Amino acid sequence: MLVTLTSISGSPGVSTTGLGIALTADSRKLLYIEADPIGSSPTLAGYFHARRRHDRSIIQLVEPNRHGRIGPAFQHQIVRIGPFDPEEPTKAQGWFVPGLVNAAQTESMKSTWGPLGAHLALLSKQGGGDLLVDAGRLNLRSGHQDLIRHSDVIAIMLRPTRTAVAAVRAGLGPLQQHLENTKSPASIGLIVRGTEPYSAAETAAATGLDVIAVLPESPVHAQVFSEGASLSNWRRRRSSYLRAIDGTWQKIERFHETHQPVWIANSPYSSQPA
């Protein structure tokens, strides 16, 4: 399964959530890919405390893509993460591909987003494991929609505020139109960060999208992933945020099993994006 995390406005914690899922998912193999057009690697800068060189990156795929060699080049960009929990060293080991080094590289990536998305979709269907993409804030002018359209699930993160809901409603139409035009297999749902001022049910009703998961607001506990912070065993066990993160991948899987885009649901045929 290929899953994309994104947002439409604000900073609801896409990168923090993505890394948290990657380190806690009950999946035989989950690869996390940083694909935010803004650039930088939150994982290298935060979780690794900037102690690792940013010499592997999706930007290294641009030249190989011109020669039809994106597959072999992609394998060389993978970096090991973990473990997240020293008490369970066999559970929380992950792999990720760092994002762009800086925003100036966005233009160079335009012709590579689509082939990268196609390669990720192929990996997921050929037994290469599950893949989770951090697409950052949605920007249909950056070109990375050509990657996103290959997803099986697109999870839009937001806080349940009036402004965030309004932004999702405004940006959802162009995204849905693009997915339908390209015959994308992606179903769209919400990951809601926080429970105030509106409930998950109210947020779903206002946006017209089903909620995949709700994550409690817990800035201190979120720093485990965003900053590589340490928590005592007592605080780990009592953290509702960490428990919620731990169960999010299973909720994404259930969402995928029960949701299809309208164009697939209403058609006797189905196909992958060209």
The phi and psi torsions of 133 (rounded to 5 degrees) equal -105, 130
Contact of 117 with 147, CB cutoff 8 Å:
yes
Q: Could you tell me which residues are beta bridge partners of residue 31?
A: 95, 131
Residue 267 has pLDDT above 70, yes or no: no
**pTM (2 d.p.):** 0.92
Provide the percentage of residues in the chain whose pLDDT is more than 70: 91
Sequence-ordered strand ranges (E) for 101-169: 130-137, 153-158
What would the pLDDT profile of 156-202 be if each residue is shown by its tens digit?
A: 999 999 999 999 999 999 999 999 999 999 999 999 999 999 999 99
Provide the percentage of residues in the chain whose pLDDT is more than 90: 73
User: For the chain, which domains are there?
Assistant: 2-265 (3.40.50.300)
How high does pLDDT run on average in the chain? 90
Looking at this protein, which amino acid is placed at residue 83? P
What would the pLDDT profile of 33-85 be if each residue is shown by its tens digit?
A: 999 998 889 999 999 999 888 999 999 999 999 999 999 999 999 999 866 55
What would the pLDDT profile of 121-166 be if each residue is shown by its tens digit?
A: 999 999 878 999 999 999 777 788 999 999 999 999 999 999 999 9
Rounded Cα distance between 48 and 42, Å, is: 9
Report the run of H or E that residue 157 belongs to, with start and end: strand 153-158
